[in-house]
Structure 1
Amino acid sequence: MTTVSKRTVSLPAEQSRYIDELVATGTYASASEVVRAGVRALQERDAAVERWLREDVAPVYDAMLDDPGRAVAAKDVMASIRAHHALRLKAKPE
């Protein structure tokens, strides 16, 4: 069985009302369940960010270190973004 650790937390009124609403509508059985779901969501998000950094960012970073010629200058990136944005604005119906 999982050991439970009791905590006392302070929340803004808006968040407290939201928890009460989730319990009142039956979405969750208790405020503790709402908080546990929130912590699980944070853990999942943090794990996803870590996975993205490890699987996507780190290999690209390593590749750039191995071959710096692959890099694109910041001014060129910004020029491309500005051009793309200008095209989108131009194509946007008024």
Structure 2
Amino acid sequence: MSTMNISLPDYLKSFVDEQVAGRGYGTSSEYIRELIRRDQDRLKLRDLLLDGASSAQTAPADADYFTGLRDRACGRRSK
């Protein structure tokens, strides 16, 4: 694992320390890693949403669509 040192103003260092103490993180590194993972997830979701928004329009996802999807997921044949 690589090491990275960061500098924080006192008020941000205090905030991180409060989060570590109050939310069950063992260290400030664990807290920062969690923030980075959440940001990665947010960026992936953003990319997926943008891909979907720029894709060709398809039939609406109505009740019949979800019934068929549910049936396929359960291994049932659609009617």
State the TM-score bracket (shorter-chain normalisation).
0.5 to 0.7
Q: Which has the larger radius of gyration?
A: 1
Over aligned residues, Cα RMSD in angstroms? 1.7
Which runs of 4 or more aligned residues in structure 1 lie more than 4 Å from their structure 2 counterparts after TM superposition?
none
- 1:28 aligns with 25
Residue 41 (str. 1) matches residue 38 (str. 2): yes
How far did 1:53 drift? 0.6
Could you say which structure has the greater relative contact order, defined with CA pairs below 8 angstroms and 6 or more residues apart?
2
Identity %: 28
Residue type matched to 2:30 in 1?
A: E
Task: Label 1:35 to 1:53 Cα distance change in 2 as closer, same or farther (>3 A).
Answer: same
- Aligned pair count? 57
TM-score normalised by structure 1 residue count: 0.53
In terms of fraction of residues, the more helix-rich structure is 1
Unaligned segments of structure 2, at least 5 residues = 58-79
User: Over residues 5-54 of structure 1, what are the superposed CA-to-partner deviations in whole Å (9 max), with x where a residue is unaligned?
Assistant: 10011123222111101222352110000100010011011001001011
